[in-house]
Chains A and B, each alone.
Chain A
Amino acid sequence: MSSPLRMASAIVGAAETEELGVIPDKSATQLHADAAIRAMEDAGIKNTDIDAVLTAGSPTQIAEYLGIHPTYVDGTSIGGCSFMLHVAHAAAALVTKRCNVALITHGQSGRSRVGEGGRFGGVSSSPSGQFEDPYGTWGAPSRFTLPFVRHMQDYGTTEEQLASVAVAQRRWAEKNPRAMMRDPIDIQDVLDSRTICWPFHLLECCLVTDGGGALIMVAAERANDFPKKPVYVAGMGESVEMTMISQMHDFTSSRAFVTSGREAFKMAEISHSDVDHIMIYDAFAHLPIFAMEDLGFMKKGEAAPWFAEMKSVPGGELPVNTNGGGLSYTHTGMYGMFAIQESVRQLRGEAAAQVDGVNVSVAHGVGGMFFAAGTLILTNDATA
């Protein structure tokens, strides 16, 4: 049987940068953009027609810079052959309808070294180096947190409701011997912990830990050839929005979350009421609030009161972050792997704080500081 990718995709636009050689008046990012805009002109399409961005490095940066809102991204960066892989990955994505029009870009100021990033002695030419770092940002706690005050303003969300997310997740961690933080806490404990970046306190910021995780995947038809109960990937979604928090389109809603979640539910062909269990990457306590709203589990403004009413805790309406999350379980820096691991444990029935009857689990991850999102819908039901 021939590959479903055989003769199944085509290149319809191609261009190089206007100039080649020595180009001291364009940054590396602008070289990507120059080639990309010319390729779009070659194909007779606009940026709004493109829904996949593939580049060796940061597809997030390219999407932001070119005003593209993708449903498929690939940053495979394995050296000079990366673009052959991008063509192959784009083919698979196009054939499987993860996207309709894919843009693959390359730009490098290899000779002139203009805007190639890097920072030494307080100087950087990257966008965040120019437009955020000069204002005294110092990493995630000072930037990831920025949208929340707007959410408070627009929806009446309170400091106490934010704190309740940390309290709810600790309730799960109490049941989990592998969780780093297991002592019971209440809202006052959270509000009394050290203020890091108001309105965020220490207990509303993720842990910093060491650890790792790994997954093995095979084709579904082989899934029963292994000792453990299979967990099937029913749906997946992804998107990126920007590389600077100050350029977020709506500070009360992540566009990447909305798009990623919508695509995942569309592929899985399930409704939100079919979901038994949710894992949300919680680098900070506002992320479960944003994600529950942006993934469509509730309307804007409803998630924070829902958490405050302790609806996500053991025995509650819908279990969220049942390992204790990044706030109480572990957070190595790229926590997404641990969210997937807990979804798998719950679907196999082997979690430390096992929830009864979990057949469908959503694992939603964030990349950067609301910069990117990936959503998986997993199930143990082979007939789903």
Chain B
Amino acid sequence: MMRLVVPKRPFPQPTPETQAYWDACSNHKLTLQRCLDCEGHPAYFYPRPFCPKCLSRNVESFEASGKGKLHTYVIAHRGAMGFQDDVPYVIAVVELDEGPRMMSNIVGVEVTPENLPADLPVEVTWEDVEHKGRDGTVQKTAVPLFKPIGAMS
């Protein structure tokens, strides 16, 4: 009988527009994109091959500092499939120092509201993930998580 193995984290399947982002993640590098035509070359997220502000295609990827602040969050007391043993865990939005915001988890801290004040400084840490396709091929990348600056992850 075939057994369905549910990976802990749903594997993020890249599209051509996001492939470079996930390739960098697999090397534990967090990248953003920026517009070279907008004033101040503002960074943006999620990846796409044009500036979502002015639509210019004159954009480039760059490695982000990996530092940011906890912008908002919930503490999940019920887990997604694969996360049931992790409750309570933090589903967060992190505001990166470069400006864009992204969803992530906050790890490396006991999960209580008191330990998670808004604007808590955080830094990136990585969790390797892989996905075995039905044809046996294995895809690998890493998912960027965040921890309080200085915390062990």
Contacts and interface: CB of A to CB of B under 8 A. Distances in A.
A150 B88 CA distance: 19
Interface string A146-173: 1111101100000000000000000000
A122 B50 contact: no
Contacts of A47: 54-55
Given A130-B18, A136-B83, A246-B103, A142 B72 contact: no
Interface residues of A, number: 56
Interface in B88-138: 88-89, 91-93, 101-105, 113, 118-119, 129, 131, 134
A115 B118 contact: no
B152 interface: no
A215 B105 CA distance: 43
Interface string B44-62: 0010111011110000000
Nearest to B116: A149
B77 A124 contact: no
B133 to A, nearest CB: 8
Nearest to A120: B134
B151 interface: no
A243 to B, nearest CB: 11
Interface string A102-142: 00000000000011000101111101011111111110011
Given A66-B55, A198-B77, A244-B103, A134 B10 contact: yes
B15 A27 contact: yes
A283 to B, nearest CB: 14
Counting chain B CB atoms within 10 Å of each CB, which of A115, A130, A196 scores highest? A130
Given A30-B16, A138-B81, A147 B72 contact: yes
A251 B71 contact: yes
A198 B13 contact: no
Interface of B: 4, 6-7, 9-18, 22, 46, 48-50, 52-55, 71-83, 86, 88-89, 91-93, 101-105, 113, 118-119, 129, 131, 134, 143
Identify the 9 closest CB pairs spanning chains A and B, nearest first: A246-B103, A138-B80, A153-B118, A150-B72, A27-B15, A198-B75, A130-B12, A197-B74, A115-B15
27 contacts: A33-B50, A67-B55, A114-B16, A119-B10, A122-B7, A122-B11, A122-B82, A123-B13, A130-B12, A130-B46, A134-B10, A134-B12, A135-B143, A136-B83, A136-B91, A137-B80, A137-B103, A138-B76, A138-B78, A138-B81, A146-B74, A146-B91, A146-B93, A148-B74, A153-B119, A200-B74, A244-B46
